[in-house]
Amino acid sequence: MKKTLLLVIVTCSLATSAQTKQTFQYVQRDSALFLDVWTPANPRPDSACVVALFGGGFVIGNRDDEYQTAVAKLLSERGFVVVSPDYRLGLKDSAMVADNSSLARLRKLFQWTIDIATEDCAAAVAYVLQHADELRVSKTHIVLTGCSAGAITVLQLDYCRANGLSQASVLPQGWMPAAVVPYAGAVMCKGKPKYMSAPAPTMLMHGMKDKIVNYKRYPPVLRHALYGAATVYKQQRKAGYNCWIVRFEGVGHEVASWLPGSVDLFCGFVEQTFAGRKSSLDATMTDSKLNPTKWTTMNVFDIYK
């Protein structure tokens, strides 16, 4: 691949002059997929980068929606280069969920949906690595984060990378993220997640009442399932990996959009991983600004009605 960047949208300065945003095509699928690169006015000395994926149940969402823009601005104000990519939405026709009424068929549909999103995330990261010099990004200081569907995707990508699975095959051999921080994420696999090689240092953020991306696993009757933060943490800690979990009491899927409310914790974990420190944390939190809403009582089928 040529090292010349394909600039699709002309660089424009934001009104605040705090960041600049550029948009690039990073891969061609059935249609072109793009990513936005937010460059801070005052970048960190280590040229750290955060690849942040939007949420939306693999049905809706886009790389520059209101929440993604807020996250990009917030992290770029902290000096990070922020990359926000498109990815394919396998459940965009949400009627597909209702049409696949058996658990086995539904599991296959979700597996395919997560697989194609993971492939796209891998391609976006590979693009950043290939163009690291032009984007002024350190290849060794790339953090993956996402909310809800985006959180599943980044956690799944690191699982695939560590296990040599095809969804992550475009990543350079031996490369790994500096950290992975999923907000309401999970891993889709057969049996509890196991890692052939070490996962990246991971901080799992999850509401204990989450029934959309289940805190433990879904469906409970199938071995091939979506394993949530509680199970992923237990498996990673059992193997001695560098993993944190922050369990939010009394709330559910609200945690998916809580990066702005926990940015100091996010940055603290990232700084530790950059410094090469190995640690574990199992914390249960409440936050007066994070209160139950309809997202605490909703389940996975509610969002596809």
Query: Radius of gyration (Cα) for the chain, nearest Å?
Result: 18
In a domain, 205, yes or no: yes
Report the distance separating Cα 9 and Cα 52, nearest Å: 20
In a domain, 7, yes or no: no
Whole-number average pLDDT of the chain: 92
Residues 97 and 304: beta-carbon distance below 8 Å: yes
pTM above 0.85, yes or no: yes
Report the distance separating Cα 259 and Cα 288, nearest Å: 15
The pLDDT value given to residue 99: 62
In a domain, 2, yes or no: no
34-74 residue pLDDT tens: 999 999 999 999 999 999 999 999 999 999 999 999 999 99
- What average pLDDT does range 270-284 have in this prediction? 96
In a domain, 234, yes or no: yes
Structure tokens at 61: 């969402």
220-261 residue pLDDT tens: 888 899 999 999 999 999 999 999 999 999 999 999 999 999
Which residue, among 216, 239, 85, has the nearest Cα to 162 in the 3D structure? 239
Report the distance separating Cα 210 and Cα 28, nearest Å: 35
Q: Which residue has the tokens 């693999």?
A: 58
Q: Is 272 helix (H, G, I), strand (E, B) or coil?
A: helix
The pLDDT value given to residue 6: 42
Report the distance separating Cα 36 and Cα 192, nearest Å: 34
Which residue, among 23, 48, 84, 26, has the nearest Cα to 177 in the 3D structure? 48
In a domain, 4, yes or no: no
The pLDDT value given to residue 96: 62
In a domain, 147, yes or no: yes
pLDDT at 3 > cutoff 80: no
pLDDT at 284 > cutoff 70: yes
Looking at the structure of the chain, the number of domains it has is 1
Domain, as residue range, for 191: 16-304
In a domain, 5, yes or no: no
Report the distance separating Cα 287 and Cα 261, nearest Å: 9
The CATH number assigned to the domain holding 78 equals: 3.40.50.1820
Question: Rounded to 5 degrees, what are φ and ψ at 128?
Answer: -60, -45
Residue 102 has a CB neighbour count (10 Å cut-off) of 8
In a domain, 94, yes or no: yes
